[in-house]
Structure 1
Amino acid sequence: MREGSLRIHAVLLAIPLVLIAAQAGAHTGEGINTGFASGFWHPILGWDHVVAMVAVGLWGAFLGAPAIWILPVVFPLVMALGGAFGVAGVPLPAVEAGIALSGVVLGLLIAFAVRAPIWVAAVIVGVFAIFHGHAHGTELPQAFSPYGYAVGFVVGTGLLHMVGIGFGFLTASQAGRIAVRGAGGVIALVGAAFLFGLA
């Protein structure tokens, strides 16, 4: 009974968020004229960002408590710091490679069911969050408020983490664990495609 209830909750949580992301994918960016809206849509419209952020929630759900809530909190907090570095013009080498590697590494951690200690998982997530945040910060349009933009991308990122957590609840069953690990493999392949310039 508990297993079935968890699946229902996961699906109910994931469906509206996936629909939001699907609508965002059709958004061209026209008409976005506030820092918050631009920051909110930016992570959702970029597949290289989407896969990594969903992977954080997915890996957190796979690891269970307390990682299920610590990792999705660490990522946006550290990402905001990386964003501040980007806005301030602090250089960071290989940002795009770091973003692509986040998908590869996090996807492989999920695919191979790696159960890292919480502090190791937080460090891994935090390192990749710096790259994602820096990219957002350097792409901030001059006319937009950096504070509104930062809040927007933290909220957008949080929603993507929730999608990952929702799917991660499928690990309550054997078939669900296989599906989650398979999703990790797909995430790693998407990251590799970006890394090698195939996407």
Structure 2
Amino acid sequence: MFRFHTQFLTLLFVLTASAAAAHTGEGINTGFASGFWHPILGWDHVVAMVAVGLWGAFLGQPAIWMLPVVFPLVMAFGGALGIIGAPLPAVETGIALSGVVLGLLIAFAVRAPIWVAAVIVGAFAIFHGHAHGTELPQQFNAYGYAIGFVVGTGLLHLAGIAFGFLTRMEIGRAAVRGTGGLIALVGAAFLFGFA
């Protein structure tokens, strides 16, 4: 039992230490790996991208696959804008708001038409992509980095979709809506500078 706790604590410390370097590319030695870990190690990105999958699962077909496709496509466009240095105001605010808004949409079980949902998700994807693009470490290939952050984002969407399947049960719907509320709180913490 002691060995399990020691291993768990070691893993926790390693993940925590890595998260501190999530936005710098430190300690990651390839463009793909840096891009892949960027969304996964930044909680501001994680909550929004999991929320996209959750909301898609909550809305059902065709949103369950459409939203997780729209987000990375538009995010790649935002990433290209960031890489070429095109200005985009209030990027960090947009990222934080994505957690707040998407979390609230889930918490309040909002059933938006698919085109409205796609516009909301796409608008927030531009901010996430721009942040990824501007934080591209100079020594890495932009294409590898972009593929990495799209793959990392896709995995976070899949995690949200998987958790969203709980909506098939009454208690699962409550858990998903509660998670939406938690996502909104995390987004608010970033928005108001508490995180």
**Under a length normalisation based on structure 1, what TM-score does the superposition of the two structures give?**
0.87
Aligned equivalent of 1:74: 70
Aligned equivalent of 1:147: 143
Aligned partner of 1:25 among 6, 15, 20: 15
CA distance in 2: counterparts of 1:73 and 1:83, whole angstroms: 15
Q: 1:98 to 1:104 in 2, by over 3 A?
A: same
Q: 1:23 to 1:80 in 2, by over 3 A?
A: farther
3-state SS in 2 of match to 1:116: coil
| 2:90 is the alignment partner of 1:100 | no
Aligned equivalent of 2:105: 109
Aligned partner of 1:85 among 81, 103, 113: 81
Contact 1:25 1:44 in 2 (8 A): no
Please identify runs of 4+ aligned residues in structure 1 that moved more than 4 A.
none
Paired amino acid for 2:174: I
CA distance in 2: counterparts of 1:79 and 1:65, whole angstroms: 22
Paired amino acid for 1:183: T
Deviation per residue, 1:93-125 (Å, 9 max, x gap): 000000000000000000000000000000000
Aligned equivalent of 1:129: 125
Paired amino acid for 1:155: V
User: After superposition, where does 1:58-73 map in structure 2 within 5 Å?
Assistant: 58-73=54-69
Task: Give the deviation of 1:23 after TM superposition.
Answer: 9.7
Task: Give the deviation of 1:31 after TM superposition.
Answer: 3.6
Task: Give the deviation of 1:32 after TM superposition.
Answer: 1.2
Q: 1:115 to 1:60 in 2, by over 3 A?
A: same
More deviation, 29-38/136-145 = 29-38
| 2:171 is the alignment partner of 1:181 | no
Paired amino acid for 2:132: H
CA distance in 2: counterparts of 1:148 and 1:23, whole angstroms: 28
Q: 1:178 to 1:24 in 2, by over 3 A?
A: farther
Paired amino acid for 1:25: L
Paired amino acid for 1:45: L
Contact 1:81 1:133 in 2 (8 A): yes
Q: 1:24 to 1:176 in 2, by over 3 A?
A: farther
Deviation per residue, 1:136-161 (Å, 9 max, x gap): 00000111000000000000000000
Aligned equivalent of 1:171: 167
Task: Give the deviation of 1:25 after TM superposition.
Answer: 3.5
What runs of 5+ residues in structure 1 fail to find an aligned partner?
A: 1-21
CA distance in 2: counterparts of 1:190 and 1:46, whole angstroms: 12
Q: 1:159 to 1:48 in 2, by over 3 A?
A: same
Q: 1:102 to 1:71 in 2, by over 3 A?
A: same
What runs of 5+ residues in structure 2 fail to find an aligned partner?
A: 1-11
Aligned equivalent of 2:7: none
How many residue pairs were aligned?
Answer: 178
